[in-house]
């Protein structure tokens, strides 16, 4: 059932991708490995028993929509591009994913805090953490899919943010890493 819904999502994404740049044209043949599996690697790192999560800059549905389909957890998907938000709404309807699409800039989104905030290739940590913090419960965690510069980003964020940072090697990219951030607090100025 989940695999069928993910296949339905992938087929829809490929159809929409012909007119809307949801993924790079070179990635259409590797959508499962490059995008869906990349998102699914977050599942074992998600906190147990959560009811809702927020995905920042969802774009083509990664990772938030894929995680909503795979786990049944309700996701708030925040995407500022109206055309991408239209795709996401269509994908939510067609797959029956437990997700709500918010077509808004992240800074302006009216979404309550959740136990989990996710993002993929959205922004470096010094810019991403202030965005994520407003949507994160006090005891919540962030799961961010990052590339080879993850340690540099953590170092750059250190003057302004206190956090527990766990790093997990990506299962889909040799230089990728998943950051699991908890105890996130802005340091006093």
Angstrom distance (rounded) from CA 158 to CA 76: 28
| Residue 40: per-residue pLDDT | 98
- Domain segments of the chain as ranges: 2-186
Nearest residue to 166 via CA among 134, 135, 143? 143
CA distance 79 to 56: 7
Q: What is residue 66's predicted lDDT score, i.e. its pLDDT?
A: 98
User: Which two three-digit tokens encode residue 128?
Assistant: 């991403």
Q: Can you give the pTM of this predicted structure? A: 0.96
Predicted local distance difference test score (pLDDT) of residue 28: 83
Q: Where are the extended beta strands (E) located within the chain?
A: 52-56, 74-79, 99-103, 114-120, 136-146, 161-169, 177-186
Fold entry, domain 2-186: Rossmann fold (3.40.50)
What parts of the chain have a pLDDT lower than 50?
none
């Amino acid at each position: 059932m989940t695999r069928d819904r993910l296949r339905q999502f992938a087929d829809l994404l490929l159809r929409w991708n012909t007119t809307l740049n949801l993924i790079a044209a070179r990635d259409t043949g590797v959508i499962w490995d490059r995008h869906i599996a990349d998102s699914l690697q977050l599942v074992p790192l998600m906190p147990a028993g959560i009811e809702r999560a927020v995905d920042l800059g969802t774009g083509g549905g990664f990772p938030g929509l894929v995680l909503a389909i795979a786990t049944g957890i309700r996701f708030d998907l925040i995407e500022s591009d109206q055309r991408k938000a239209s795709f996401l709404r269509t994908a939510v309807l067609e797959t029956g994913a437990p997700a709500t699409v918010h077509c808004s800039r992240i800074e302006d989104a009216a979404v309550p805090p959740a136990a989990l905030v996710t993002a993929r290739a959205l922004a470096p940590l010094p810019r991403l953490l202030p965005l994520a913090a407003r949507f994160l419960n006090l005891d919540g965690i962030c799961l961010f899919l990052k590339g080879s510069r993850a340690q540099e980003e953590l170092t750059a964020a250190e003057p302004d943010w206190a956090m527990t940072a766990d790093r997990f090697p990506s299962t889909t990219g040799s230089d990728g890493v998943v950051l699991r951030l908890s105890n996130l607090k802005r340091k006093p100025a």
